[in-house]
Structures are given as C-alpha cells and as structure tokens.
Amino acid sequence: MISLLSLKFITFSFVSVFLVSVLGGSARQAVFLTVNLIFVWRVLGFEGAFSTLGFCLLGYALVKAHIQWPNIKLYLTLPLFIALFAYMRNYEMLQWFLPDNVLTNVLKTIGLSFILFKIIHVLIDARSRTLHPSYVRPKPPDPAWQAGGHPDKSHRGAMSHV
C-alpha cells in the first residue's frame, strides 16, 4: 500500500501528469491507463483492484446485455447490481440477511459509489435507447482530441455567447 502523502506518491503524480500532458495519441492513452492501474493496484492491493475491476466489467456487461437484448427488464438486473455494490461496501444492513461467514471485510474500494451511479446512468440511457452506440463500442480516436485540442474547432466555451 502507498500513502497518498508520501514523497513517492507525489513524485508519481507529478511524473504522471507531465507524461499525460506531453504525450499524444496511443502513447497518451497507454500512459493514462497504466498510471490508473498502478494507482489502483498500489492503493487497494490485489483484492481491491481485482474486485473493483470486476465490478466495472460487470457493469459494462450489463449495459451491453441491455443493448443487445432490449427485453431484459431493468427492474430485475439493477437491484442485483446494487446488491453487489452493498456487499462490496460491506454495509451493516447485510447482517440482517446474511450470515457472518458470508460477509467480507477483504474488499477495499475507491470510487465505487461513483462507478455505481455512472453505470446506473448508462444503463438507463441504454434501456431508453438514448445511448449512442460509440459509448460502449470502441471507435477510432479523434486525432484533434488526442493531440490535446477540442474536436470542434469552433468551440469557444460555455460563455462564448455572452
């Protein structure tokens, strides 16, 4: 585990920000992914990183399933996904329903609530068919975006009309 206040972590953060800001294209994406994986691994350890990744992949699979088979009922899949979240967070209310030998204190997570709400948001969009297919299917990257610019060259910011 690594302390977020250690010189090692601060150095890692500065080097990461520098590399992501100076690189472009696939190298930038590779560094960004690598930095995130290293951070999650160092802070959460194997079990925490593996369980968090599994939770994300399950959410992705649920979204893909709802797109592929629109007849799947959201009121069936969403409560199960939320129950998994509650189990991973080890909420005390689970003691009412589950024996102690089933509960876990091993799983550590960071940002699991954010991930849950993001996946719920995407699931609802997928269910209502308002989700753009490229959101869940890899698409060719926009060269302008990878170079650090905005893909819409006419973009002047939210206050441009004022």
Question: Quick one: CA torsion of 105, 109, 113, 117, rounded to 10 degrees?
Answer: -120
Q: What is the pLDDT along the chain (162 residues), one digit of tens a residue?
A: 677 788 988 998 999 999 989 988 888 889 988 998 888 888 888 888 888 888 889 999 999 888 888 888 888 889 999 988 888 877 778 778 877 777 766 566 778 888 899 999 988 888 887 876 666 665 555 555 555 554 544 444 444 343
Q: Report domain extents, the chain.
A: 7-138
CB 161 within 8 A of CB 39: no
Q: Is the pTM of this model over 0.85?
A: no
